[in-house]
Chain A
Amino acid sequence: METPRLNETTSSSAAMTDDTTPPGQPTPRRHRATEGPWATAWRRLKRDHAALCAFAVFVAIVLASASAPLYATYVSRTNPFDTNLNGEIVIDGEVRQVLEPSTEGLGLGLTPIGPTWRFGPYALGADNQGRDVAARLLYGGRNSLLIAGVAAVICLVLAILVGVVAGFFGGVVDMVLSRVLDVLWAFPIFLLAISLSIVLIARSVRIGPIEIRSGSLWLPIFIIGIVFVPYVARPIRGHVLILMKSEFVLAAIGLGASPLRILARDILPNIVTRVVVFVPLILALNMLIESALSFLSIGVQPPDASWGTIIQDGQGLLYSRPMVALAPGIAIVITVIALNILGDGVRDALDPKSSIRVV
């Protein structure tokens, strides 16, 4: 009972405090600063073992992907972006070709080597151009995570901008922005991303002085960054509207605070927790949509890899060398599950009452 109730601190409680403190000495008051929202959230998150495990898994995947060049240099010892049609490797003292003549079906064509399941070249086999799948998997993870991450930043920044501007200024600005968000919201996000990608991906796009070459990672990043903006902006706008009517904002207005000060001191700090809740969920959605676009060859362009493009590479080898398509899919599933668990944990920790529906 560090914090006495109001009625206990009034004069009538003087006799009661005498029991515990010797007369003549000042009452020992332990002052503890109120716990901030971040501290509360962190305390809650620390108890959520599933979320912590998920975070650890996600960090491990990020680190593994980041070490892709190391793996390619020291373990797989091949360039994962060059075709290697005539390569040979030695397994158990036996020299084998990376692309072996087919033994199944009519015996025509070549079948890439299957997984060797050892820590070395072609641990997960080769794709139909003789490239090391394991090395490409790590490089692909790098691109998938990079795209998802940068697109999430773009999405959140735009969403905060739109949501706060609409909620803060209200009136015509709010009306226009809200209608635009409504229209985007009603449009199937996935179809929007596909349409934008098909139309833009194979061409160079010029926005003012910046020219994005076709095949650049920036195109999928921007497209994926834009499509989820309404999902985040709408709840933010709603929250800003509530904040604008709250007593502390009214008090700030009454004290003559400038709009900029209200925005910086009262609105934005209260928005941040809401935004953080979205981070893992948007990352997970970005991963999924990136893989889908790349699978349709309208995301990451060859010879660059992403988990989606590797699944597409593996589609033709599905029945003979299924590992090419299975491995990146498993990587996506693990990453997205980790992000979703983390997302649930972060939401419960920061904002237990919210009910967010993304997708």
Chain B
Amino acid sequence: MIAALVARLAQMLLVMFGISIVAFLIFFATPGADPSARIAGRNASQETLRQVRHDFGLDRPLPVQYALMMKRLFISRDLTSFVNRGQKVIPTVMRAIPITLSLVGGAAVLWVLGGLVVGVVAGATRGSAIDRTLMILSLIGISMPVFWLGEVANLLTQSRWHDTWVFSWVPALGYVPLTVDPWGWFKALVIPWFTLATLYVGLYGRVLRANLIETMQEDFVRTARAKGIGEARVLLNHGLRTSLVAFVTMFGLDFGALVGGGALLTEVVFGLQGVGKLTYDALQTLDLPMILANVIYASFFVVMANFVVDILHVVIDPRARDA
């Protein structure tokens, strides 16, 4: 067990290493990405360019540059941005992480609960009016662009209905740190949470319903019913537990992707300076140190999420324990 965990951790490190190298190489293969030209500014003379290249170590071989950058990122921790001179990369990313974690964490709670309720209720009442209504709502949920939904939410809560009692509590766009003002943090994030969660409630509800219906036709469910177990318990203890495997796998991948920067659109619409926004800005200015830091951070969460999913998989499905 311990050996398997260690092997797994080593594998994770290897994947992160690979991703960072790929990001590094893609950057240098990109046309027009020469960082020295950007640092030196427009119309810089050849001497200035050469000087800049030398100062930033950009005239060294690529492996050396990679090693130097990783050293400054992890060991001396003083890597600075190529674009905003003097801006340290690590504190900038550290400031963005709690914002993204707050946004995605809250939304995740909502979409897991929502997805479970929608999936179980629709699956249990298959073919009924409730089922059909829930499925239509889910379909609408997965068909809305999240940034547009966010704008509609802003329109209603910030402008049109802001003066009524319904949304008068909604604060102006932006982030309030949890440690400073927990209630303000909650109020600032409620609307973004619902916006981000909508797509996933629909998605998870649909998938869970399909899995549940499939599971409820299995032999062991018939056995459970034949033993006289009540329908509700059969549904929750036998049907749901088996159906949760796909649900948990999806959750891990989606959560990892969102924390790793996939919540960009929601962050843009709601003016949250999270990791997604940071990555987006860094990509637009081709700020290599910032891109690398974000990519490594993102891959860490994606890899971690996969790891947690595998563990949960074993917890839920005893059959997976042998593997």
Query: For the complex, what is the distance from the CA of A329 to the CA of B154, rounded to whole Å?
Result: 14
The 7 closest A-B pairs by CB, nearest first: A188-B257, A329-B148, A336-B143, A319-B159, A198-B283, A337-B143, A188-B262
Would A291 and B283 be within 8 Å (CB), given that A188-B302, A199-B30 are in contact?
no
The 8 A CB mask of B287-323 against A (1 = contact, 0 = none) is: 0000000000010001000100000000000000000
Residue of B nearest to A339 (CB): B143
Point out the residue from A186, A195, A311, A319 that lies within 8 Å of B148, measured CB to CB.
Answer: A311
Q: Does B147 contact A (CB under 8 A)?
A: yes
B133 smallest CB distance to A (angstroms): 14
**In the complex, which residues 280-298 of chain A have their Cβ closer than 8 Å to any Cβ of chain B?**
284, 288, 291-292, 295-296
Q: Does B21 contact A (CB under 8 A)?
A: no
The 8 A CB mask of A341-359 against B (1 = contact, 0 = none) is: 1000000000000010101
The 8 A CB mask of A124-145 against B (1 = contact, 0 = none) is: 0000000000000000000000
Measured between beta carbons, the chain A residues less than 8 angstroms from B140 are 333, 337
Q: Does B228 contact A (CB under 8 A)?
A: no
Whether the Cβ atoms of A194 and B283 lie closer than 8 Å is yes
Whether the Cβ atoms of B159 and A325 lie closer than 8 Å is no
The 8 A CB mask of B130-170 against A (1 = contact, 0 = none) is: 00000000011011111110011011001110000000000
Residue of B nearest to A312 (CB): B147
Q: Does B33 contact A (CB under 8 A)?
A: yes
Q: Does B207 contact A (CB under 8 A)?
A: yes
Query: For the complex, what is the distance from the CA of A341 to the CA of B154, rounded to whole Å?
Result: 28
Measured between beta carbons, the chain A residues less than 8 angstroms from B262 are 188, 190-191
Query: For the complex, what is the distance from the CA of A296 to the CA of B267, rounded to whole Å?
Result: 12
Q: Does B264 contact A (CB under 8 A)?
A: yes
Whether the Cβ atoms of A292 and B260 lie closer than 8 Å is no
Given contacts A325-B155, A329-B144, A357-B246, 15 further A-B contacts (CB under 8 A): A188-B257, A191-B264, A191-B279, A198-B283, A198-B284, A199-B283, A288-B145, A295-B145, A296-B264, A318-B151, A325-B151, A326-B155, A340-B139, A340-B143, A359-B142
Query: For the complex, what is the distance from the CA of A308 to the CA of B268, rounded to whole Å?
Result: 14
Point out the residue from A199, A206, A332 that lies within 8 Å of B145, measured CB to CB.
Answer: A332
Q: Does A205 contact B (CB under 8 A)?
A: yes
Whether the Cβ atoms of A333 and B257 lie closer than 8 Å is no
Whether the Cβ atoms of B32 and A191 lie closer than 8 Å is no
Q: Does A322 contact B (CB under 8 A)?
A: yes
Measured between beta carbons, the chain A residues less than 8 angstroms from B66 are none
Q: How large is the interface on A (under 10, 10 to 19, 20 to 34, 35 or more residues)?
A: 35 or more
Would A194 and B264 be within 8 Å (CB), given that A186-B302, A295-B147, A325-B151 are in contact?
yes
Point out the residue from B155, B250, B253, B260 that lies within 8 Å of A318, measured CB to CB.
Answer: B155
Measured between beta carbons, the chain A residues less than 8 angstroms from B264 are 191, 194, 296
**In the complex, which residues 68-113 of chain B have their Cβ closer than 8 Å to any Cβ of chain A?**
none
Q: Does A203 contact B (CB under 8 A)?
A: yes
Whether the Cβ atoms of B33 and A318 lie closer than 8 Å is no
Would A337 and B145 be within 8 Å (CB), given that A194-B280, A326-B152, A357-B207 are in contact?
no
Query: For the complex, what is the distance from the CA of A318 to the CA of B153, rounded to whole Å?
Result: 11
**In the complex, which residues 255-290 of chain B have their Cβ closer than 8 Å to any Cβ of chain A?**
256-257, 260-262, 264-265, 268, 279-280, 283-284, 286
Measured between beta carbons, the chain A residues less than 8 angstroms from B298 are 191
Q: Does B203 contact A (CB under 8 A)?
A: yes
Main SS of chain B's interface residues? Answer: helix
Measured between beta carbons, the chain A residues less than 8 angstroms from B147 are 292, 295, 311
A230 smallest CB distance to B (angstroms): 13
Query: For the complex, what is the distance from the CA of A78 to the CA of B298, rounded to whole Å?
Result: 47
Q: List 12 A-B contacts (CB under 8 A).
A: A188-B262, A191-B262, A194-B280, A194-B283, A198-B284, A203-B31, A292-B147, A332-B148, A336-B143, A340-B139, A357-B246, A357-B250
B250 smallest CB distance to A (angstroms): 7
Query: For the complex, what is the distance from the CA of A308 to the CA of B279, rounded to whole Å?
Result: 21
B135 smallest CB distance to A (angstroms): 9
Whether the Cβ atoms of B145 and A291 lie closer than 8 Å is yes
- Count residues on chain B whose CB falls below 8 Å from chain A CBs: 45
**In the complex, which residues 171-203 of chain A have their Cβ closer than 8 Å to any Cβ of chain B?**
186-188, 190-191, 194-195, 198-199, 203
Q: Does B121 contact A (CB under 8 A)?
A: no
Residue of B nearest to A359 (CB): B203
Interface centre among A186, A291, A308, A325 (most CB of B within 10 A): A186
Would A322 and B155 be within 8 Å (CB), given that A292-B265, A357-B250 are in contact?
yes
Query: For the complex, what is the distance from the CA of A227 to the CA of B250, rounded to whole Å?
Result: 19
Measured between beta carbons, the chain A residues less than 8 angstroms from B221 are none
Q: Does B210 contact A (CB under 8 A)?
A: yes
Query: For the complex, what is the distance from the CA of A199 to the CA of B295, rounded to whole Å?
Result: 15
Query: For the complex, what is the distance from the CA of A276 to the CA of B203, rounded to whole Å?
Result: 22
Query: For the complex, what is the distance from the CA of A33 to the CA of B210, rounded to whole Å?
Result: 34
Whether the Cβ atoms of A191 and B142 lie closer than 8 Å is no
Measured between beta carbons, the chain A residues less than 8 angstroms from B30 are 199
Query: For the complex, what is the distance from the CA of A341 to the CA of B136, rounded to whole Å?
Result: 9
Whether the Cβ atoms of A292 and B261 lie closer than 8 Å is no
Q: Does A273 contact B (CB under 8 A)?
A: no
Q: Does A315 contact B (CB under 8 A)?
A: yes
Measured between beta carbons, the chain A residues less than 8 angstroms from B253 are 186
A35 smallest CB distance to B (angstroms): 26
Whether the Cβ atoms of A319 and B283 lie closer than 8 Å is no
Residue of B nearest to A196 (CB): B26
Would A190 and B142 be within 8 Å (CB), given that A315-B151, A319-B155, A325-B151 are in contact?
no
Residue of B nearest to A319 (CB): B159
Residue of A nearest to B162 (CB): A319
Measured between beta carbons, the chain A residues less than 8 angstroms from B211 are 355
Would A199 and B151 be within 8 Å (CB), given that A190-B257, A194-B264, A291-B145 are in contact?
no
